Amino acid sequence: MTLQLQDPSFAGGISSFVSPLNRSTRRPVIRAKAEPSDKSVEIMRKFSEQYARKSGTYFCVDKGVTSVKFYAGMIQINFKADYFMSFRPSTTGWNTKEHGLADHKDSLGAPLCPCRHYDDKPAEAGQGFWNCPCVPMRERKECHCMLFLTSDNDFAGPEQIISLEEIRESTANM
């Protein structure tokens, strides 16, 4: 197939081949449900409890918010103007989370923050800036993924502990 392009200032034509194979074909993506090891979930749970006590921060009043940070799963967090939070499984969207802290601990050797998009996760884990607790949390007590909340945060609960059973219950249907 030949395409003739004509420029009024140019008397000749420009030929180029247009391949029919250049069409974008979208194939379905199949994702296996991969869960982190119980050991990594327990390590991250204990670390989070200890860090919350040490930093004077608290877990979210909804323990499900805290739980999904540890566990693998695709979670989309929607914040609405009335401070209502809803969780729903998602496979698309810019804020899809595929892995939690424990899964990153298993696969990368470091608890890379689950609330960010990374072009190169191993490189980011090696750099350490976004490893939990991330630099913004350590420097300014700003946890953008809502794992560690200051007492003045509207979503902060009264607790600095979470049980393994609470984590399992909250993440059972993911």
What pLDDT score does 116 carry? 83
Catalytic site includes residue 60: no
The CA–CA distances, whole Å, from 120 to 2, 25, 70 equal 41, 25, 20
Element containing residue 77 per DSSP (H, E): strand 75-79
Question: Residue 124 pLDDT > 50, yes or no?
Answer: yes
70 contacts 167 by C-beta, under 8 angstroms: yes
Instruction: Mark 141-164 as b/e (b = at least 16 C-beta within 10 Å).
Output: eebebbbbbeeebeebbeebebee
Share of the chain above pLDDT 90, in %: 36
Domains, the chain: 32-171 (3.90.460.10)
What is the per-residue pLDDT across 42-59, written as a single tens digit (0 to 9) for each? 988 999 999 999 999 999
133: how many CB neighbours lie within 10 A of its CB?
21
pLDDT tens, position by position, 65-91:
888 888 753 333 333 333 333 344 433
Q: Which of 115, 132, 143, 145 is catalytic?
A: 115
CA distance 10 to 150: 68
